[in-house]
Amino acid sequence: MFRQLSERFGHPLAMAILTLLGMWLIVMVTLPQLQMIDYSFRPNLLPAQRGGPEDGWTLGNYVTLFDNEIHRAIFFKTLWSSVLVTLLTLVVSYPLAYYLAKVATPRQAALCILLLIIPFWINEILRTYSWFIILAFRGPLNEILLALGLIERPIRFLSGDAGVMVGMVYAYILFMVFPLYNAIESLDDNQIRAARDLGAGSIRTHRRIVIPHAKPGIATGCIMTFMLAAGSYAVPALLGSPGSRWFTQIIYNWFFEGGNWNQGAAYAFLLLVLCIGFMSLVMKFFKVGLGDIAK
């Protein structure tokens, strides 16, 4: 990496870039994570008790999760719900990415990408709140369905997890579409034509040609979408009901309402381990490495 940067920018500038990158990784990534881990293994003590005999590493903060039935249920519910959000986003994004990469003309593709990006110029909270208005009990969606005669009475879309799922798929669709688009765009069109000339239908062509080639993009999109969904706070807070709480809301409560940073750090570290484990499983399932994903 240093040699490539030196050839492009020169030795001094390459050294400066790597130094700034290293400082950023240490100060903004490594040190906060290490501090969070240290917090998670220490009890929540008064300032006068810190440094005393009770101030030592303990697993008590982690045991709390497994002793608390409600928190444990929310933890596993967040896991499966994040997986479901990832699968739904993949199902929605794959046809769109294929259309952009192989079907649409350059002008059509540019217009579609622009239409996808423009809503993301708005803050995530405002975009999420717009779905709150759309899915409300007397919101536009219910009014349209009532006017068309498809339903007899308004539906409470925000009473369960449905609103959260819709909001998350919308919020993170770009993180799935663009990796898929980049992977599919690099596929040689002659391979698709050859498969069709040999009698393969659309489903078989995608299963045998397109999807295997797009594995790095699928893996990247799934990892990014899952991690964003599992770590989301705004979407479940705005679109979720009291019975559809997310694990990040529990972490927020420990930090800012309960004032127990040590317990919150333990829960946050468990969520981080969950995301790393999911990333490893996806990479193993699709048989890709970090180098493939980085492309």
Residues 135 and 19 in one domain: no
- Domain that residue 265 falls in: 57-294
Pick left, alpha or beta for residue 123 (phi over 0 → left; psi -120 to 50 → alpha; otherwise beta): beta
Q: Please report, for the chain, how many H helices and E strands are present, in that order.
A: 18, 0
In a domain, 49, yes or no: no
What is the rounded average pLDDT of the residues 90-99? Answer: 94
Give the pLDDT of residue 80: 92
pLDDT at 257: 82
Where would I find the H helices in 148-207? 162-172, 174-185, 189-197, 202-205
pLDDT value, residue 292:
64
| Whole-number Å distance between alpha carbons of 205 and 196 | 7
Per-residue pLDDT, 39:
84
In a domain, 50, yes or no: no
pLDDT confidence bin for 83, thresholds 50/70/90? very high
Q: Are residues 212 and 154 in the same domain?
A: yes
Residue 174 pLDDT level (bands cut at 50, 70, 90)? very high
The reported pTM is 0.85
Contact residues for 119 (Cβ-Cβ < 8 A; gap 6+): 127
Same domain, 20 and 79: no
| Domain shared by 185 and 74, yes or no | yes
Q: Are residues 109 and 249 in the same domain?
A: yes
Does residue 52 fall inside a structural domain?
no
Same domain? For 91 and 169 the reply is yes
The predicted-structure confidence for 204-246, as pLDDT tens digits, reads as follows 888 889 989 999 899 999 999 999 999 898 888 888 877 778 8
One domain, residues 2 and 64: no
Mean pLDDT of the chain: 86
SS3 call for 54: coil
**Are 14 and 139 members of one domain?**
no
CA distance 262 to 21: 30
Q: With 70 as the cut, is the pLDDT of residue 48 above it?
A: no
Instruction: Say whether 243 sits in a helix, a strand or coil.
Output: coil
Domain count, the chain: 2
Residues 6+ apart with CB under 8 A from 70: none
Is 21 contained in some domain? yes
Domain shared by 25 and 82, yes or no: no
pLDDT value of residue 291: 67
Same domain, yes or no: 27 and 154: no
Q: What CATH number does the domain containing 199 carry?
A: 1.10.3720.10
pLDDT recorded at residue 189: 85
Please give the backbone phi and psi of residue 53, each rounded to the nearest 5 degrees, phi first.
-65, -25
Given a cut of 70, is residue 9 above it in pLDDT?
A: no
Let me know whether 173 and 36 are in one domain: no
**Cα torsion 70, 76, 79, 84: sign:** negative
Same domain, 223 and 146: yes
pLDDT (tens digit per residue) in 129-166? 888 889 888 889 888 988 888 888 888 888 778 888 89
Cα distance between residue 94 and residue 182, in whole Å: 12
Return the half-sphere exposure (C-beta side, CA atoms, 13 A cut-off) of residue 244. 20
